[in-house]
Structure 1
């Protein structure tokens, strides 16, 4: 079984990404699992090329620094030739209505004065990501489940029309992840794209910066430390972060402090210790561009080799070879 997961370099990787996904990828990865930096997906909204290039390198370095096997990691655009070919074949297999009814397209297009065509066709590219690597299981949240269903539909349709080439993937509900909230606004998730970043702890933040953000986290006026997520979301967010970093239940984490100041100090200490080795290793990789490029090139070669026979078969049965 091959599981495939990706991260889009739309911003710096933050604590929520690390605790909710990346740390688990490193700890639970099986030999055939694959992880990629989906830089092509970041182009569906306005972006700056130099920032995309830098964030792609940074995201790759963080994945490697977290302990994910370098042989399982690649950058999406390093397969642009293979993906471009398969993406066109799949676009010619997909109906316009199927793409246009994607919920994320409707929501994001409504926020744009003029939505990019890539925003409409992005789910087909996601299907190409999945089918090219022969992935059988795609761990996704509810916001991406519709896209995996489209990949399933296109795989079945192509196989039925031209010949059995693609594995039909299945969406998998990932194990309950840490739902880290914005420290300054616990009513929303911690996000790379947050306009105000004083509530977002980034993996590569310097320790004093991360500690300052945690010390300024929004709580309430009650002062006693109790885990009540519905009534006291800001306090609960801090308690949950401490619980995940230290491997205890939120209720046990709450009992380790009697004041908000003590709790924030404990959270800062746990977060800094959790992120320290990742930050240090990622910095080493970013400071050694030759080594990072070597790992990236090797990952690209391995990903291309995995995809080669499958792409060749798809092009052949589709009448292109």
Structure 2
């Protein structure tokens, strides 16, 4: 049976938080153990440069993200886990694809249109002010990430569907000109995926500065959970769990039986201080073993690097010969003697 190739990239601009874990990391780790899937997971460090011009942050984020995935049990014997910048064929493919991509297609990219709209609303004379070519054309780099490894499926949020559609358009255009070389990828959207709320009740996101880092030390974890916004209902008053940030986080980790028990305690009027203590103890117990492994990995950068280099070796065993074929297809080859 042919394995389906599934590919996921993680941009190296921040520290993994609880929302990343339940929404993306946990299901991806599980998929890495599926013998019927060929998973590719990569640190998208070139993508990070689009919005982040802080070298130390990109380096530290790469280290933290790699350590997080390894600490949580990523099966690197099955999954190909690599750093984007360690596979130079991806950037060469990006240029090849750029040469068959219509500018009009890039004009329709959501991120670019949003930047232009913001400038126009701010009465800027130049609608492209602050727009780099990285921001404008990064859907092509994303297409190269996907097409290089002939990904069949790409798990994404709804806001990323357009990029998969663009990758399909670019691949189809190349195939039309140079022959069938690329697989047309499909976006996989998890309709019922967990979305955690942050400290302020909005979606947990580094953009809102409301996250709870996944492997925060115990004391800091407790302080952050104690900061979670709640309403003014007193202990003893019934509370609605479905509108509560504390409950939404607890539910993402707990079993159905445990969730039912806590739901009853809300009906009985559990106090906010008590619920925060319950949540802290539960989350802390859940992540403690992986946190210990994470802290050990952060002190062993050579081991992390070894894992990434091994992943790059496996990735390049695919990318090098494939790019050779693509070069031949577009007419870039040695002159025969």
Q: TM-score, normalised by structure 2?
A: 0.87
- What's the counterpart of residue 248 of structure 2? 240
Kept after mapping to 1: 8 A contact 2:63/2:301: no
SS at match of 1:33: strand
Structure 1 pair 312–213 and aligned structure 2 pair: CA distance change class (3 A): same
1:78 to 2:90 alignment: no
Q: TM-score, normalised by structure 1?
A: 0.91
1:254 to 2:268 alignment: no
1:190 to 2:215 alignment: no
- Unmatched segments (≥5 aa) in structure 1: none
1:49-88 per-position Cα deviation (integer Å, ceiling 9, x unaligned): 1221111111111111111122421111111x20111000
Structure 1 pair 3–227 and aligned structure 2 pair: CA distance change class (3 A): farther
- What's the counterpart of residue 100 of structure 2? 93
Kept after mapping to 1: 8 A contact 2:233/2:239: no
- What's the counterpart of residue 283 of structure 1? 295
Structure 1 pair 225–202 and aligned structure 2 pair: CA distance change class (3 A): farther
Question: Which of 274, 277, 299 is 2:286 aligned to?
Answer: 274
1:108 CA drift (Å):
4.2
- State the distance in 2 between where 1:225 and 1:8 align: 42
1:203 to 2:214 alignment: yes
Higher Cα Rg: structure 1 or 2?
A: 2
Question: Which of 205, 208, 226 is 2:239 aligned to?
Answer: 226
Question: Which of 16, 31, 45 is 1:39 aligned to?
Answer: 45
- Unmatched segments (≥5 aa) in structure 2: 120-128
Counting only pairs closer than 5 Å after superposition, residues 117-196 of structure 1 correspond to structure 2 as: 117-174=133-190, 176-183=192-199, 185-186=200-201, 188-194=202-208, 196=209
After superposing the two structures, state which structure 1 stretch, 209-218 or 169-178, moved more: 169-178
Question: Which of 302, 311, 317 is 1:305 aligned to?
Answer: 317
- What's the counterpart of residue 215 of structure 1? 226
How many residues align structurally? 310
1:299 CA drift (Å):
0.8
1:21 to 2:20 alignment: no
1:254-294 per-position Cα deviation (integer Å, ceiling 9, x unaligned): 22452222211111112112222222212111101221111
After the TM superposition, which parts of structure 1 deviate over 6 Å for at least 4 consecutive aligned residues? none
After superposing the two structures, state which structure 1 stretch, 288-297 or 26-35, moved more: 26-35
